[in-house]
Structure 1
């Protein structure tokens, strides 16, 4: 037996061992994928709207130049970080829209992509902690007060806001992901488990 015959036998055996997805299972798969794509589109456009609103608000703000400049710089930096993470989400969005999901292995690969994007999603929310700290510093430094804050008050406000902010952003990220994507991912996992049997 030569090497070409061995390759042919190997390929035939691999093809036979990969379970195909039936038409009914594809319909079951299509609904959660389409719901997730709709959530991703909505999230993208609402984020664009938030950034446009922030820039317009700062353009008409009567605050001093230095305050406006720092806030605009901060919002622009947040926009670049958001663009990086949305580029990762967009790859998954495209993959879900043109699925080559005819096999069990294709579905397993998609689930792996979902897990990676879940980590990106949590990282996305946590990446806003430094921006939150900068915003807090700008507010503490530039908002005039009748009685200036003491050093202890500034430290307490800063540390308290940081602790609450990190915990809040992490919880918000987990909740948001589960609410808009987690339930649909669970349905796809059920389909993979069904194919495994």
Structure 2
């Protein structure tokens, strides 16, 4: 008998579904989402074209073989890190193309993915810091030693280059994300806020 009571309670319980987003709002969101996807495609294709070109061009610079080898190894390692981050990036790309973005819950999940990918993006740029430092060491080591360049002078050049390079990488990563993705994410956030009212 208790089972029958539970069944009747279950049937009486009002289960409300997650509210769906209207077709008009879905169309308004389609434009910024499509812009994000388009920028992701461009960035991926540019990277796929650019990295092999760098690997080939290194061999044409008139520097000693061992420095070429070091730089090649560094660029190859950077390529592996890029592949890892692009695999994370690709998950967001697939999520954006998902046609089931019609509920507020699915939008919340999408915003969570945007936040994760922003962190991945900044981590991607910051992961190049050790490579940048190694490349600067290679450049400093390839400068022929003369009395003209004292150790203090080389140290100042090295530290100045590393510090300015680190700031450049950080600000470039932030600017790049905001320019290609951030402004479209904000447009979607504004649309979601309008829908809540």
Give the TM-score of the pair, scaled to structure 2: 0.90
Structure 1 residue 162 displacement after superposition: 1.9
Aligned ranges 1:121-140 → 2 under 5 Å: 121-140=121-140
CA distance in 1, matches of 2:10, 2:152: 74
Note closer, same or farther for the CA distance 1:57–1:103 as it changes in structure 2 (3 Å cut): same
Structure 1 residue 32 displacement after superposition: 0.6
CA distance in 1, matches of 2:107, 2:139: 48
Residue 14 of structure 1: aligned partner:
16
Structure 1 residue 161 displacement after superposition: 1.7
- Please state whether the residue corresponding to 2:189 is helix, strand or coil: helix
Residue 170 of structure 2: aligned partner:
170
Note closer, same or farther for the CA distance 1:24–1:162 as it changes in structure 2 (3 Å cut): same
Structure 1 residue 7 displacement after superposition: 4.9
Structure 1 residue 98 displacement after superposition: 1.6
Please list the CA deviations of residues 155-184 of structure 1 after superposition, one character each: whole Å capped at 9, or x if unmatched. Answer: 212221222112111111111111111111
How many residue pairs align between the two structures?
194
Would you say the 8 A contact 1:104–1:195 is kept in 2? no
Structure 1 residue 47 displacement after superposition: 1.1
Note closer, same or farther for the CA distance 1:77–1:195 as it changes in structure 2 (3 Å cut): same
Structure 1 residue 83 displacement after superposition: 0.8
Would you say the 8 A contact 1:19–1:195 is kept in 2? no
Where in structure 1 are there 5+ consecutive unaligned residues?
A: none
Where in structure 2 are there 5+ consecutive unaligned residues?
A: none
Give the TM-score of the pair, scaled to structure 1: 0.90
